[in-house]
Chain A
Amino acid sequence: MFAPNTKILVVDDMLTMRKLVIKICKELGFSDIVEASDGAKAFELISSTQPGFGLVISDWNMPQCTGLDLLKRVRVDSRFSQLPFLMVTAEAEQHQIMEAVKAGVSGYVIKPFTGDQLKEKLTGVYQKHFAQKAS
């Protein structure tokens, strides 16, 4: 699982949802959490923050730059091709998830979710990115 000191970026245009995701992350033991209210700001943060983020949790459905747009921008940049990226989607967007998989998403979680569900998803994302290297 991700270490508690992992720097996390939470991206959502909805303030309430951002706060909730941050709250759940804190309950899971993370404390270094940064937030962004749209995809463009998020990309700016991702490219300029040092040391870099260890995990991005982004909403899919945002105006202008969607979660998918952000993911694509992140993946074409060779610095971030391996950055763990968890997509948050609503039930209605579930069928689009294949697109995100093609674009290189690390995992996805459907709203509404509990702390336990997020933890499970994060464990999956972690294994995908780091378990093979560790073994």
Chain B
Amino acid sequence: MEKVLPQILSLGVDPAVMEFLSKEIPTCKMDVQPYDLKYFEAALTPSPVAIFCGLPKAELEMQVAEVAQALRMIYNSIPIYFVSIERTSFNRKQLQKNGFTDAFLMPSDQSVFIETIQKMLSALGELKVYRSVRLMDIPSENVLGFDLYLHMPANNKYVKYASSTDVLSEKRLERLHSYEIATASVSEDQMKQFYDFTAAQLSRLGSSNKISETQKKELRENAVRDLFTGIFGEAGKDDTIDKGRAVMNDCQEVIKSYILNESESKNTWFDKIMNVASAAGGAYNHASNVSTYAALFSIGLGIGKPDEIALAALLHDIGMADIPLEIAVKSERERTPEETKAYQRHVMLSVNMLKEKKLMVPENVFKIIAQHHERFDGKGYPDAIPGHRFMKEAQILAIADQFDYLTKVQAGKPAMMPMAAMEEILRRNSASKDEVFYDPQLLLQISNLFHVGKKAA
């Protein structure tokens, strides 16, 4: 018998978003429709498992808030998501108050959107989703409590490596290490068990953290997401100095609570890096991870002001919100020269967005952001200026950015162990005299911090 796929009703969603979604979630049947008043009369039978809504056009004569209210009154219990590429009218909290389960602004929210849908389908039992976890989070002496899988890239299959009742022996872990396997997978429905396991592990190790790394990660992600949508949303209408000041306060709060707080904890420098690197990847982790790494590099080297670097790192990619979705979702290799050019504009867009929002940030923060894709050999963008002419802080941010990319646990790419990632950055930087990405002196100093830290650990 042919399997009946769950049906999602999509109303008036931007075609670029739909194209992106159809690639990402093939296990659903999408009923893609323009808005029509008939959808606001009564529930469809059978009911869709979820509804996606785009920004309604004027001819519908309904505001987005009314769409949310009406659909929510028709469908009490299914998720209804708003997804838009229009950042000027985006106010996540308001949209949720009117009845949407959540609201996603593309392309910034692409990963968190996909994750949300996967979780939903996984809860419906429609989709087996696997999350990558780091083997270093799994000590050998305890019963797992969750099944552990290995991903086989050749046929894209997941093979069970250990059962929930198993204790992973030191020998088996070592064997995986010898194959340079640093990550394994846990199915979405058992992620809670995995998090409980790692939280128990943390408390056994006498970690000073009162809340688990998972909760901390979620809090941090939510804070960063709220902060960003606060910056993106409702352009022009109230871009006053006061609003800029309020956003700035939020930034500083995030940095104080989640970033510098990490660097001020009693942990050693190396442990702090490891703590951040070991958290399972989340959609909004990149900004806060890079911010933490950059602040720690700055503190470790005594170069620049850590809070300025942390702020620049937190905001360095917000301009990505204005890059067309179809370009943002492509990998570097897939982009045409024109698309590459458009993509590279995100640097100046970040700076412009901060200025447009009247964020009172120190001039240095603008400079660090503007130069974070410049290269030591002068082959970077946007200005292709050579290393001796731009700020060391921008290089610190660039190295932190790359370090997070290499270590991040993310579908579709292998994650490296932190030490290996640092070695890889060094290797690439010295492989050819014609390709020098980062200041070799500075990079060596950072890598030394890792070596000294590792020895002490």
A residues engaging B (CB < 8 A)? Answer: 14-17, 19-20, 23-24, 90-92, 111-114
Contact = CB atoms under 8 A, between A and B. Distances in A.
A24 B70 CA distance: 12
Contact of A114 (B70, B76, B98): B76
Nearest to A118: B73
A15 B69 contact: no
B98 A20 contact: no
A112 B40 contact: no
Interface string B95-125: 0011100000000000000000000000000
Main SS at interface, chain A: helix
Contact of B66 (A16, A19, A24, A91): A16
Given A14-B62, A16-B62, A111 B69 contact: yes
Contacts of A19: 40-41
Contacts of A114: 73, 76
B203 interface: no
Contact of B68 (A14, A15, A23, A112): A112
Nearest to B71: A112
B74 A20 contact: yes
A114 B273 CA distance: 49
**A19, A23, A91, A92, most chain B CB atoms within 10 A:** A91
Contacts, number: 44
A19 B74 CA distance: 11
Nearest to A94: B97
Contacts of B165: none
A17 B70 contact: yes
Contacts of A17: 66, 69-70
Contact of B98 (A14, A15, A24, A90): A90
B42 interface: yes
Contacts of A112: 68-70, 72-73, 98-99
A97 to B, nearest CB: 15
A4 B74 CA distance: 22
B210 to A, nearest CB: 34
Q: Which A-B residue pairs are the 3 nearest by beta carbons?
A: A112-B72, A16-B40, A91-B97
A84 B309 CA distance: 61
A15 B70 CA distance: 11
A111 B98 CA distance: 7
A111 B73 CA distance: 8
Interface in B21-47: 37, 40-42
Nearest to B97: A91
A19 B99 CA distance: 18
A23 B70 CA distance: 12
20 contacts: A14-B62, A15-B37, A16-B37, A16-B41, A16-B66, A16-B70, A17-B69, A20-B40, A20-B70, A20-B74, A90-B65, A91-B94, A91-B98, A92-B94, A92-B97, A111-B73, A111-B98, A112-B68, A114-B73, A114-B76
Interface string B63-100: 00110111011101000000000000000001001110
Contacts of B73: 20, 24, 111-114
Contacts of B70: 14, 16-17, 20, 112
Contacts of A15: 37
Contacts of A90: 65, 69, 98
Nearest to B41: A19
